A = this chain, B = another copy of it.
Amino acid sequence: MVHCLIIGGAGMLGSGLAARLARTGKLGDRAVSRLTLFDVVAPGSIPEGGAVSVGVKTGDIARPETVEALVAARPDVIFHLAAIVSGEAERDFEKGYRINLDGTRNLFEAVRKAHESDGYHPRIVFTSSLAVFGSPLPDVIDDDHILTPRSSYGTQKAICELLLADYSRRGYFDGIGIRLPTICIRPGKPNAAASGFFSSILREPLAGLPAVLPVDPSVRHWFASPRAAVGFIAHAATVDSALLDERRNLTMPGVSATVADEIEALRAVAGDSAVELIRHEIDPAVVAIISTWPKAFDARRAEELGFTADKSFAAIIEAHIEDHAADRETPA
């Protein structure tokens, strides 16, 4: 019987993971008995637990005593998904380091102290990011490529990967870090993030709304559906860490696709009329940012460990349509 703690339980992936764990009551072949959702704010909706007891806590991971209180319940699996996002970490240097680095270190330290006191040794799943990579990059990035982040967010994620590996090697906990692809189709409204268009050029036309494409259709990037990303996070909790050989951070598999591939997948599902809702208007600032991003990975280590990507961009769109069928049935 497994007690899972989700730090970042109110976010897109945290609430998706909570819904999955509550619905299935399973993590691999183990039964989930208890689920604690932690975030700086309470989640918008708390999943019906059925056999799973679901609790909610709020607080600030930058406060060591807050994290110590979470660890005091000795959860068997800790999913650490909480972070200040890249734009905010770039705008507010101190806040980014305080939450993304010091918050994570507070968690790792609280677990280390618990380990030293009673041998506590949880699995910790940490979500890292492609932002740990920075240009110049080869067209296909392998598992041995250096991390040279070009953002404070990417730096903080790369540092936490190193800490996770060291604390695990020392035996304080059993950690695994997973670098998630860009999530597509991200639910919600269009936003100002440079990556936003990858989702909005699909999500908006699928809802009959216009969208703007700010880059050339030849731009290539690395994607996973929210459903695949939640699957990666859940699978990471069950991987036999002896197979990691102390290299505990893994690039997740994904779908390498161009914007043109996205558009053709949209056309196949929703026809020319949907594609015509995309207005092409180059934004040199977005072009410049995107030009430094990874295009594709050879994510061999993760594949060998059973992490499974979406099958195609068409499958990413189908997952979106299925997962949001309920939304569409509700009048706006």
* A→B interface (CB under 8 Å): 93, 134, 143-150, 152, 155, 158-159, 162-163, 165-166, 169-170, 246-247
A155 touches B149 (CB 8 A): no
- In Å, the complex CA distance between A143 and B146 comes to 8
Q: List chain B residues, Cβ under 8 A from A246.
A: 134, 148, 150
> Taking the nearest CB of chain B, how far is it from the CB of A163, in angstroms?
7
> Taking the nearest CB of chain B, how far is it from the CB of A331, in angstroms?
47
A166 touches B149 (CB 8 A): yes
Q: A144-B145, A145-B144, A146-B146 are in contact. Are A152 and B165 (CB under 8 A)?
A: no
Q: List chain B residues, Cβ under 8 A from A165.
A: 148-149, 155
- In Å, the complex CA distance between A170 and B93 comes to 9
- In Å, the complex CA distance between A134 and B246 comes to 10
B155 touches A166 (CB 8 A): yes
- In Å, the complex CA distance between A68 and B152 comes to 23
A162 touches B166 (CB 8 A): no
Q: List chain B residues, Cβ under 8 A from A169.
A: 150
- In Å, the complex CA distance between A148 and B159 comes to 11
- In Å, the complex CA distance between A197 and B170 comes to 26
Q: List chain B residues, Cβ under 8 A from A247.
A: 134, 148
- In Å, the complex CA distance between A147 and B152 comes to 18
Q: A144-B145, A170-B93 are in contact. Are A158 and B162 (CB under 8 A)?
A: yes
B147 touches A147 (CB 8 A): yes
> Taking the nearest CB of chain B, how far is it from the CB of A161, in angstroms?
9
16 CB-based A-B contacts, threshold 8 Å: A93-B170, A143-B146, A146-B146, A146-B147, A147-B147, A147-B162, A148-B246, A149-B165, A150-B246, A152-B166, A152-B170, A155-B163, A155-B165, A155-B166, A158-B162, A159-B162
Q: List chain B residues, Cβ under 8 A from A145.
A: 144-146
- In Å, the complex CA distance between A170 and B156 comes to 14
Q: List chain B residues, Cβ under 8 A from A158.
A: 162
- In Å, the complex CA distance between A149 and B158 comes to 13
Q: A144-B145, A147-B146 are in contact. Are A163 and B159 (CB under 8 A)?
A: yes
Q: List chain B residues, Cβ under 8 A from A148.
A: 165, 246-247
With CB as the reference atom, state the residue of chain B lying closest to A116: B93
- In Å, the complex CA distance between A247 and B133 comes to 12
> Taking the nearest CB of chain B, how far is it from the CB of A229, in angstroms?
23
Q: A93-B170, A170-B93 are in contact. Are A162 and B146 (CB under 8 A)?
A: no
A146 touches B149 (CB 8 A): no
> Taking the nearest CB of chain B, how far is it from the CB of A145, in angstroms?
6
> Taking the nearest CB of chain B, how far is it from the CB of A136, in angstroms?
8
B149 touches A162 (CB 8 A): yes
In addition to A145-B146, A148-B247, A155-B163, 18 A-B residue pairs with Cβ atoms within 8 Å of each other are A93-B170, A134-B246, A143-B146, A144-B145, A145-B145, A146-B146, A147-B147, A148-B246, A149-B165, A149-B166, A150-B169, A150-B246, A152-B170, A155-B165, A155-B166, A158-B162, A159-B163, A162-B162
Q: List chain B residues, Cβ under 8 A from A144.
A: 145-146
Q: List chain B residues, Cβ under 8 A from A149.
A: 162, 165-166
